[in-house]
């Protein structure tokens, strides 16, 4: 079953900074689990949560003062339903619910509030491109009157999974209309939070392309993931830039039995995104290149699997003035039938 073979990961993908709130799709990830055979057949569901706290202001690559206490707290809850057609192919549907709480200057006043609702849904197809299992072996308990064969799993497994799909413009893009009305007042503090940060959707049909890879040798494992979003034309004359997100890292299984697994992993993740375009011109405060590092705990029992992770920025290159993340937390649970 899938939950014995997959451990939850996101966001899709996913999931570095603000842009990832709109593009990263969580998808259960093939890892080196106790079972030898990668099987994607059957139904599975999952819930994945990512909470990000943006509390620092940055101009280009330099942190600046935040006298008005600007902040943005974002919660993305992805509801996932999937079906494995066979051992090689699966379809998956993602529906994110987004909640954003913010504080920002508006002229000489302070604007505080929140926005919430479902974001852009996605339909993905996944395929196992390659799966390698080193030869398993058996031994016989010769002390018994009737010797019984005891199977031992192989020492090494490797897998590569590709995914592709389409994101639909189901989220409310009305916050993008703020871009038409922004006016800088001389002497007033500048806001690092704008309509493109608060929107629930892009208003565009976007292509999603990605790959997941894993390798295990005994209790040691490593993973790498990447996801690229090719943006279409957005709503309100606002065009989000194409986005690349990735994650990778080594880990160790503290417990690895036939139906039970507990592992620890050190994960590096990041994003690379050019500036968006509004009315045909560059939106200078939207580009980002970031790298996060943090611990991740994974666990699986029978048909249930999940994860907990915390990540902290070690590199944050932005363009113009932006509010940037101080940390993010992720948790998820998946179950299969």
Q: What's the pLDDT tens digit per position in 206-262?
A: 999 999 999 999 999 999 999 999 999 999 999 999 999 999 999 999 998 878 899
Spatial distance between the Cα atoms of 279 and 283, rounded to a whole number of angstroms: 9
Quick one: which H or E segment has residue 196?
Answer: helix 195-198
pLDDT at 13: 34
pLDDT at 4: 36
Is the pLDDT at 131 greater than 90, yes or no? no
Other CB atoms within 10 Å distance of the CB of residue 130 = 11
Is the pLDDT at 28 greater than 80, yes or no? no
Read off the pLDDT band of 150 (50, 70, 90). Answer: low
More confident residue, 182 or 211: 211
pLDDT at 114: 97
pLDDT at 30: 43
pLDDT at 34: 41
- Inter-residue contact 94 to 82 (CB < 8 Å): no
| Domain count across the chain | 1
Among 29-33, 256-260, 294-298, 316-320, the minimum mean pLDDT is found in 29-33
- Inter-residue contact 51 to 327 (CB < 8 Å): no
pLDDT at 259: 84
More confident residue, 107 or 14: 107
pLDDT at 5: 39
Residue 228 CA: distances (Å) to CA of 15, 104, 106, 117:
12, 31, 34, 24
More confident residue, 33 or 62: 62
The neighbouring-strand residues paired with 329 are: 51, 310
- Give percent of the chain above pLDDT 90: 73
Q: Domain span at residue 295? A: 2-336
Read off the pLDDT band of 6 (50, 70, 90). Answer: very low
Residue with tokens 């993305």: 76
pLDDT at 86: 87
Among 17-21, 61-65, 195-199, 258-262, the minimum mean pLDDT is found in 17-21
If you ran DSSP here, which 8-state letter would residue 241 be given?
A: P
pLDDT at 312: 98
Read off the pLDDT band of 19 (50, 70, 90). Answer: very low
Spatial distance between the Cα atoms of 73 and 325, rounded to a whole number of angstroms: 9
Spatial distance between the Cα atoms of 148 and 150, rounded to a whole number of angstroms: 6
Q: What is the pTM of this model?
A: 0.86
pLDDT at 32: 36
CATH number of the structural domain spanning residue 310: 2.40.128.130
- Inter-residue contact 16 to 292 (CB < 8 Å): yes
Other CB atoms within 10 Å distance of the CB of residue 108 = 10
Mean pLDDT of 305-309: 94
**pLDDT tens digits, residue range 38-68?**
455 689 999 999 999 999 999 998 999 999 9
């Amino acid at each position: 079953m899938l939950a014995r073979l997959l451990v939850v990961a996101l966001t899709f993908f996913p999931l570095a900074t603000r842009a990832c709130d709109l593009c990263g799709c969580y998808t259960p990830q093939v890892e080196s689990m106790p079972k030898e055979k990668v099987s994607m057949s059957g139904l599975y569901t999952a819930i994945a949560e990512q909470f990000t706290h943006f509390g620092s202001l940055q101009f280009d690559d330099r942190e600046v003062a935040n006298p008005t206490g600007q902040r943005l707290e974002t919660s993305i809850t992805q509801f996932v339903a999937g079906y494995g057609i066979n051992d090689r192919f699966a379809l998956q549907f993602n529906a994110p619910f987004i909640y954003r709480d913010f504080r920002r200057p508006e002229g000489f006043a302070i604007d505080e509030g929140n926005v919430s609702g479902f974001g852009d849904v996605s339909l993905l197809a996944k395929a196992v491109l390659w799966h390698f299992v080193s030869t398993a072996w058996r031994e016989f308990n010769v002390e018994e009157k009737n010797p019984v064969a005891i199977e031992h799993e192989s020492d090494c497994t490797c897998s590569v999974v590709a995914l592709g799909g389409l994101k639909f413009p189901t989220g409310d893009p009305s916050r993008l209309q703020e871009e038409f009305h922004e006016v800088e007042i001389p002497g007033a503090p500048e806001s690092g939070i704008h309509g493109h940060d608060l929107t629930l959707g892009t208003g565009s049909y976007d292509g999603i392309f990605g790959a997941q890879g894993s390798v295990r040798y005994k209790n040691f494992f490593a993973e790498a993931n990447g996801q690229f979003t090719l943006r279409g034309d957005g709503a309100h004359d606002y065009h989000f830039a194409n986005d690349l997100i990735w994650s990778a890292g080594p880990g160790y299984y503290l417990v690895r039995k036939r139906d039970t697994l507990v592992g620890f992993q050190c994960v590096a993740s990041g994003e690379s995104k050019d500036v968006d375009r509004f009315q045909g011109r560059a939106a200078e405060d939207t580009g980002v290149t970031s790298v996060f590092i943090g611990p991740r705990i994974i666990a699986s029992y029978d048909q249930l699997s999940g994860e907990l992770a915390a990540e902290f920025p070690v590199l944050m290159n932005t363009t113009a003035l932006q509010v940037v993340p101080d940390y993010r937390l992720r948790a998820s649970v998946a179950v299969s039938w």
